[in-house]
Structure 1
Amino acid sequence: MKAKSLTFRIFINTFLTGTFIYFFCTLIFISTVYKYFEKQIFNELETESQFLIYPILSDNLEEIKNIETTTRITLIHPDGTVYFDNQISPDFLDNHTNRTEFQKALKNGSTKISRYSSSMTEKNLYYAKLLPNKDVLRISCTQRTIWNLISELKAVLITVFLLAIFISGAAAHIIARRLLSPLNDIDLDNPDSSKTYYELQPFLKRIADENLEKEKQEEIRQQFTANVSHELKTPLTSISGFAEIIKQGTTDQKTTVDFAKSIYEESQQMIALINDIIRLSKLDAKSISLEKENFSLKETCKDAKHVLEASAAARNISMSIDGDEGIIYGVRPVVYEMVYNLIDNAIKYNKKNGSVEIKIKTMTENYNPKKTTVVLMIRDTGIGIPKNEQGRIFERFYRIDKSRSRAMGGTGLGLSIVKHAAKYHDAIILLNSEENKGSIFTVIFNQ
């Protein structure tokens, strides 16, 4: 089913509202006028009764009978017997004891009531008054019902109705256009510059924020693509060059082995880069299939330290682990990648004969003993990070010293993986570094 346009919805709702208001106002108007005239008739009946009291009390009923009037005049004894009626012989009238107007007149002195005829096409209006001699004077007349009034005015009402439909339709069309004009004029590329309704400002702000985020993501994507292309092109060029020389068969055994070693090292660099990109992509998309569990952060640090001991020993760098178990809730392989990269960087950018200290500490809040914080601190005695570079070290492919990083076999993604792994676990990373004195990376896990 095809969805209705907003223009159509506004038009039809405005049109129906206008039509409903017409019917409602017409009904109220006719009802008010009808009640007004009914009240006037009752007043006239009451006034007429005042003129009839004197002849009645003087027993001059013949004078009353000769009065030319469209109203019906009836005189009733206290026992309900009708002894005079100017339109029908009293002999043909039943006792009026049970008539409502008679009973209320006896009780209250006077009353005004109305009754519909048996055909419901007319309405009888009665004014009854208790006379000084205890008789009851009743004056009545007929009035057309409100539906008869509407029927008689139907030609006028239909004309007004058609006019109301035309005006409602035209007004609905104009209103719909004016309401939608600011919406149609919104520039989705620059929503902040669009002048529209106040209620739409939060919506436009969200669009503006999303546009800005898209621009940032596109810039990151382009930069990432350019960096990946560059990082892959360099080793591929080397591999292609070495392979071409070997293919020609002009190298001796030793040179061939050296070229093969270079090809292997470059290919390993590419594999490491691709693996880092895959890990980063999974962290970005939060598509890690492993479940979270409670495990020891200290044991994870020991595992990473054990793997990197050979790299540290090659540069005579000492490593130590201290602290409690540091039980955290997370994905063990992801935390291992984070710890591994932090320790690996501490070794790569350390000085010869330097040191790497790994400390784990669990803290409990005084006001909430069940809430714990596990702090991981990795300190090195390396080259440090300049103040002006510290804000960018977690960016992808960002290297402070590109030549040193490449010589160390770095992909430029290590700290970016650390950042995303911490974010995945809602952890906080703090950096304290000074050039030529070393760095301290602190990761805070709130459990």
Structure 2
Amino acid sequence: MNKKIFRSSLLTVCLVLAATIALIMGLLFHFFEKQIQKELANEAGFLAHALENEGAGYFDSFDNKNNRLAGNNRITWIDENGTVLFDSRADVSELDNHADRDEIKTAMKEGKGMSTRYSKTLTEKTVNYAIRLSDGSILRVSTEQYTVVTILMGMLQPILFIMFVALILTLVLSARVSKAIIEPINKLDLEIPENNDTYEELTPLLRKIADQKETIGEQLADSRKKQKEFNLITENMSEGFLVIDADANLLTYNSAALNLLEITPPADRSVLLLCRAKEFRGVISDVLSGIKAENTMVREERSYSLIANPVYEKESVIGAVVVILDITEHEKRDMLRREFTANVSHELKTPLTSISGFAELMKAGDVLENDVTDFSKSIYDEAQRLITLVNDIIKISELDGQSIPYEKETVDLYELSKEVIGRLEKEADKKNITFHLIGGRAEIIGVHKILEEMLYNLCDNAIKYNKENGTVDVLVNQTGDGVNVIVRDTGIGIPISHQDRVFERFYRVDKSHSKKVGGTGLGLAIVKHGALYHHAKLSLESTVDVGTVVTIAFSKK
């Protein structure tokens, strides 16, 4: 705006300056022209009076006596027929008839006449004034006058100098004027438009700006509120959330999407750079073609469900919404459920097959009287194994569903460990294994039955998978955060490749050895779920042929 005002001011001043110079030159030229005509009329009158008194003899000694009077003017005497009788500059014999000259014709008719004639180059003009004498002859006085063009050419240098100076002044003044005009506008406080003291003409504009500012402020506040609500919702979603346009450019996303895909905020806007998995690209391609797309993607041992819906505007796809769900745990649960079902079926089938076989033989009467007792013992043992298995399955189901039919109470883990060790002493004596209980009184709030099962299974495993003449240490000690229970044996140990899976249901490191020592394969799974129920941390360290250490860290909270 400052430049525009400056240019406008400069152009205006230049135009005014040029017009002023032209007008002044025109007025001066017109003024001097009138003066010359007046002087010619006066001189013609004077000469006419002298000629009337002295006659033709007046011109005899004109060059000598009256040259001062003639000056630079040309004097011509013409008779009534147009013949030149006298000319102060030319030989009359060489001059043609002047009867057709405008000033002559006018003077013959009206007594005086005036005309102006320009040279061929238009640089000079001749002003003629004629007066009729009493005898009918005509006296004409002529003078040469420069034209405006000639005068301007003659004064070109001073005019250009004046215009240059005027231009410099105009530049300076225009700059100052434009700055002075713009400065109050630049100092406008648009935060409070109505409080500005400026040009009166700007008052309606400032009032309108104030109204618009208020409206925009309300709209922005509403927009920020909605954006905050949207961010609050999306940022607290566990599901990943992506919004893309028709060109697959990322418009918005939430932190969960970045965390699930384990990526940093993209520098490029293309969503295809977030993940190069075939399934992800396929979903994006399908949804942008207008198809609701769903697929499962596996990425770094984690499973994700991708659900994408297209967004339409006037029947054309303008973008899409993509939701990313981490279904790893769900997939693991499904796998564990399938494994659990298969394992349960297998574990139940084995004792039931044995029971059914012995019972069938006894029913057919093909069993000797002496073998009935052995068959009955086998049926009883298998039935007890089946009951133990069903009880362990029920315990796992209760822990899974958090449907524990017992109330929490204060339990001293040291005393509970002493009771469990007492129950297992006979089993330990069979392998000459020695128990050591270390620690002191350590109370927590928990379910006595579950805690007892956990300690029993850990100590039972420490006996089953121990060596002859081995030891089992049970350490119960209080820490600043709670209570630790550590069961340490000198057994066969667990290979590193199996340590992550030993707490899974029915998982056995060595099935042949497990079959030999018995058990349902659910002991450590019960320990794991019991720890989860009590919000305890479970850890395992083991070295083959050295032993195993299992630690349960109970928190006071």
Taking the aligned partners of 2:307 and 2:367, their CA distance within structure 1 comes to 68
Taking the aligned partners of 2:289 and 2:453, their CA distance within structure 1 comes to 50
- Given that 1:269 and 1:409 are in contact with CA atoms closer than 8 Å, whether structure 2 keeps it comes out as no
Aligned residue type for 2:507: Y
- Give the structure with higher Rg (CA): 2
Q: 1:348 aligns with which of 456, 461, 464?
A: 464
**SS in structure 1 at match of 2:549:** strand
What residue is the counterpart of 1:444 in the other structure?
Answer: 553
What residue is the counterpart of 2:358 in the other structure?
Answer: 242
Per-residue Cα deviation, 1:327-379 (whole angstroms, up to 9, x for no partner): 11211111111111000100111111111110111012xxxxxxx32111111
TM norm structure 1: 0.54
Per-residue Cα deviation, 1:238-280 (whole angstroms, up to 9, x for no partner): 1111112222223333322111111111111111110000000
**SS in structure 2 at match of 1:310:** helix
Q: What is the Cα deviation at residue 200 of structure 1?
A: 4.9
**SS in structure 2 at match of 1:192:** strand
What residue is the counterpart of 2:306 in the other structure?
Answer: 192
Within the alignment, does 1:309 sit opposite 2:418 as a pair?
no
RMSD value over aligned CA atoms?
2.3
Per-residue Cα deviation, 1:120-147 (whole angstroms, up to 9, x for no partner): xxxxxxxxxxxxxxxxxxxxxxxxxxxx
What residue is the counterpart of 1:174 in the other structure?
Answer: none
Within the alignment, does 1:221 sit opposite 2:337 as a pair?
yes
Q: What is the Cα deviation at residue 186 of structure 1?
A: 3.5
- Given that 2:309 and 2:320 are in contact with CA atoms closer than 8 Å, whether structure 1 keeps it comes out as no
Taking the aligned partners of 2:495 and 2:408, their CA distance within structure 1 comes to 36
- Given that 2:309 and 2:321 are in contact with CA atoms closer than 8 Å, whether structure 1 keeps it comes out as no
**SS in structure 2 at match of 1:383:** coil
Name which structure has the greater RCO, CA cutoff 8 Å, separation 6+: 1
What residue is the counterpart of 2:540 in the other structure?
Answer: 431
Taking the aligned partners of 1:183 and 1:411, their CA distance within structure 2 comes to 54
Taking the aligned partners of 1:199 and 1:341, their CA distance within structure 2 comes to 53
What residue is the counterpart of 2:514 in the other structure?
Answer: 405
Distance 1:260 1:328, change over 3 A: same
Taking the aligned partners of 1:188 and 1:217, their CA distance within structure 2 comes to 21
Q: 1:293 aligns with which of 396, 400, 409?
A: 409
Distance 1:432 1:213, change over 3 A: closer
Distance 1:335 1:184, change over 3 A: farther
What does residue range 32-431 of structure 1 map to in structure 2 within 5 Å?
Answer: 185-190=291-296, 191-192=305-306, 194=308, 200-201=321-322, 204-205=323-324, 208-210=325-327, 212-364=328-480, 372-431=481-540
**SS in structure 1 at match of 2:463:** helix
Q: What is the Cα deviation at residue 384 of structure 1?
A: 0.7
Q: What is the Cα deviation at residue 443 of structure 1?
A: 0.7
Taking the aligned partners of 1:233 and 1:351, their CA distance within structure 2 comes to 31
Q: What is the Cα deviation at residue 320 of structure 1?
A: 1.8
Q: What is the Cα deviation at residue 415 of structure 1?
A: 0.3
Aligned residue type for 2:441: E
**SS in structure 2 at match of 1:379:** strand
Per-residue Cα deviation, 1:53-77 (whole angstroms, up to 9, x for no partner): xxxxxxxxxxxxxxxxxxxxxxxxx
**SS in structure 2 at match of 1:321:** strand
**SS in structure 2 at match of 1:333:** helix
Aligned residue type for 1:361: N
Taking the aligned partners of 1:315 and 1:277, their CA distance within structure 2 comes to 29
| Dislocated runs of 4+, deviation >4 Å | 181-184, 188-191, 195-201
Distance 1:302 1:184, change over 3 A: farther
- Given that 1:351 and 1:383 are in contact with CA atoms closer than 8 Å, whether structure 2 keeps it comes out as yes
Q: What is the Cα deviation at residue 185 of structure 1?
A: 3.8
Structure 1 stretches of 5 or more lacking a match?
Answer: 1-177, 365-371
Q: Percent identity?
A: 46
How many matched pairs?
256
**SS in structure 1 at match of 2:326:** helix
**SS in structure 2 at match of 1:194:** strand
